[in-house]
Structure 1
């Protein structure tokens, strides 16, 4: 078994390796490709353009030649998966979609936290689609200032800011908090006002395992 992750931040490698370890996925079964340029281009363009989507599709398809499943870990680029899957038999999965499906299962008020503005639209779309199958309501929120801390290398400040936002969401009546980006995963253990938030790394790898079982 070989699962290959396409990341847009090198720091997500450790996040996914930790999630893989908790699921019993061995280190030699998980590979990583980092394309910071794709998210950087999307940020400059204000979102996912057709050109960036095509570049993402090409990157995903290249990884399928040496993988049993490919996992796209960047929610901004997520919509490109639909095009990529039409050109291969290898499962290509979106971590944000897997997270959305998990989050809405029990219904209730779902608050989804995002750090990057470019991910708000694709994340809202994928969560709203998942919620159609349940009675869940979805509220997608940007955590102000979080991404600037991440880009400045202040991981402590980044995770603390996200954890505070999750605690506020629980204080305002959220049933479930989902951390919309993989880079936010480390904040989950810092949340004290409600259940541990759901993370995309864990959800995405679980989805990959299920796809391989099929």
Structure 2
């Protein structure tokens, strides 16, 4: 089975590969495509525009050839996946990595705190988790980890992950039942969180959803 992943940061490739190895998926081949320019354009525009969404859809449709499923691994670009794209991509599933994450986060109800590091993802992430929570008893709050994205862009990985872990610990201390890292780049911070619970991160959850969708599409 081949899952093609569209990323907007090179560093996310290793995180997805590690998640695939840990999950021990049988006969799973991951192919990675990185389009950092799409996220950069959205940041420059102050968010996802219709033009950037259309460009993202074109890329996703091109990736469906020779793929069993296509996974969009960027929460800012996530809304680019719509019903029209799904119809064009059929029978190849095209999924948002954060959609499966949202479903998992709210399924048990309780207080869910979703952490983000890039401002352009606040609106799409808030909308996505609100839609997921509408069918559950979960109370969702989305928060930006101030200063973190600046460290990421400066290649200060240790500083980036440290700020995220501190925000997660604070969320647990303030009563969060579930803490979610909305972006794959944040995943490494889960190992630095001192609370008893481990934050939910996209790679393993998204890959499991893509594999399931691919199997159902056969």
Normalised-by-shorter TM-score class:
over 0.9
Which string of whole-angstrom CA distances, capped at 9 and with x for unpartnered residues, describes residues 1-43 of structure 1?
Answer: 1001000000000011011111113686001000000000000
State the partner residue of 2:51: 51
Distance 1:84 1:55 in 2: 12
State the partner residue of 1:6: 6
Q: Alignment partner for residue 199 of structure 2, among 197, 200, 203?
A: 197
Determine if contact 1:9/1:35 at 8 Å carries over to the other structure. yes
Distance 1:131 1:28 in 2: 31
Determine if contact 2:3/2:28 at 8 Å carries over to the other structure. no
1:86 aligns with 2:102: no
* Stretches (4+) displaced over 6 A: none
Determine if contact 1:56/1:77 at 8 Å carries over to the other structure. yes
Determine if contact 1:110/1:137 at 8 Å carries over to the other structure. yes
State the partner residue of 2:120: 118
Distance 1:166 1:194 in 2: 11
Tell me the SS of whatever aligns to 2:81. Answer: helix
Tell me the SS of whatever aligns to 1:141. Answer: strand
Task: Single out whichever of 98-107 and 85-94 deviates more from structure 2.
Answer: 85-94
CA RMSD in angstroms, aligned pairs only = 1.1
* Length, aligned pairs only: 214
State the partner residue of 1:141: 143
State the partner residue of 2:106: 104
1:152 aligns with 2:154: yes
Determine if contact 1:17/1:27 at 8 Å carries over to the other structure. no
Distance 1:65 1:213 in 2: 16
Distance 2:85 2:187 in 1: 26
State the partner residue of 1:75: 75
Which string of whole-angstrom CA distances, capped at 9 and with x for unpartnered residues, describes residues 175-206 of structure 1?
Answer: 00000001000011111123100001111101
Task: Single out whichever of 155-164 and 77-86 deviates more from structure 2.
Answer: 77-86
Unpaired segments of 5 or more residues in structure 1? none
Which string of whole-angstrom CA distances, capped at 9 and with x for unpartnered residues, describes residues 106-130 of structure 1?
Answer: 1000000000000000000000000
